[in-house]
Amino acid sequence: MELIQTPLDLQSLQIIESNNGFLVGGSHGGDTVEVKRTEAGLSCQCFIAKVSPDHECEHTTAILEYLAHVPTEEDRPNLSQADADYYLSKLAKLDEVNAANEDSLVKQKERIDLWFESESNKIQRRKDYYILALDNWMHLAGYSTKRLVNGTLKVRSQQPEITVIDEDTVLKDGRFTRIVPEKRTVDKAALRKLITETGEEPEGTTVSMRPHKFSYTLSRKEGT
């Protein structure tokens, strides 16, 4: 079967060139088609180009003929005011499509975030049951570390959390001062040692005893 080629109608064909390639429209009707420049030549993503053995189509053929007729930028026709207004309308339509896509993205993201938060909360609640049960078992059994088939459980005591609410008051007690360099500051290490050993709460501080830390290590991943 012999293909009959029709001559290129440069007047009705619309081709816009950029550094990346071409946008082809006009006599081909419908949406414009992008043809990219590649090291191998022109590349079009239309259906004909994808199924064609040589990846050629009417769009790449049109561009080759167009470039043959107008090889330099000086030879190419200037835009008319009507062309400019038409291209502006194309921009407006593309902006509308992009805005609709963005609106869809926001709505879908909100739904996905809501779904993910709900699912994560349900999973975490179920995890909390297992963690509490394992934590209690470790204490009742008197273990600090226990290796099991599916991982390792650990229980570690934590240092008390000390908040200096009145630094001047604490500095009056010489037991908790140090010079850094030539500056009188609170020695938190000395504070922690006294509180841990005696349970005393020096003036100017508040002490919150933090619960022990339970952690588990699985064969493939870690959790706390």
For the whole model, what pTM was predicted? Answer: 0.48
Task: Quick: pLDDT tens for 52-68.
Answer: 888 888 888 888 888 88
Query: Residue written as tokens 């037991």?
Result: 175
Beta strands in the chain, from DSSP E residues, in sequence order: 14-17, 21-25, 33-38, 41-44, 145-148, 151-156, 161-164, 177-179, 184-186, 205-208, 213-218, 222-223
Give the tokens for residue 117: 């938060």
Residue with more model confidence, 141 or 82: 141
Handedness of CA 99, 103, 108, 114 (dihedral sign): positive
Task: Quick: pLDDT tens for 166-221.
Answer: 888 888 888 888 776 767 778 888 888 888 888 888 888 888 777 878 777 776 65
pLDDT of residue 57: 86
The domain limits of the chain are 14-76, 145-223
Give the tokens for residue 54: 């040589």
Which of 32-36, 65-69, 110-114 shows the lowest per-residue confidence on average (mean pLDDT)?
65-69
Handedness of CA 128, 131, 137, 140 (dihedral sign): negative
Query: Residue written as tokens 């630094």?
Result: 167
Asked whether the predicted pLDDT for residue 28 surpasses 90, the reply is no
